[in-house]
Amino acid sequence: MGLVSGMLKAATGAAAGVALITALPVFGAVGVITATGMAVGSVIGAAAGITEEVMEYKKRKRDIRRR
C-alpha cells in the first residue's frame, strides 16, 4: 500500500518536528502545547487519509464485482 507507507513517512516527519519543538527550551510551555497540537493533528490527519483510502478501495472492489 503506497498510501499507507506515505502516511507513515509523513507521521514520522511530523513526529520529528514535534520532538524538535518540544526539545527547544526557548518555547517552554508554549512549545509543549504546540507540539501536542501538532501531534494530535498529524495523527488525526493520517487516520483520516488511511480511512478514506480504505473506503475507496472497498468501493472499487464492490464496483468490480458488480460488472
Q: What is the model's pTM?
A: 0.54
Q: What is the share, in percent, of the chain residues with pLDDT greater than 90?
A: 0
C-alpha cell, 58 = 472497498
Per-residue model confidence as pLDDT tens digits over 9-32: 777 777 777 776 666 666 667 777
User: What is the DSSP annotation of 2-16?
Assistant: HHHHHHHHHHHHHHH
Position with higher pLDDT, 60 vs 22: 60
pLDDT value of position 41: 81
Question: Domain range for residue 62?
Answer: 2-66
Nearest to 8 by CA among 60, 43, 51: 43
Q: How many domains does the chain have?
A: 1
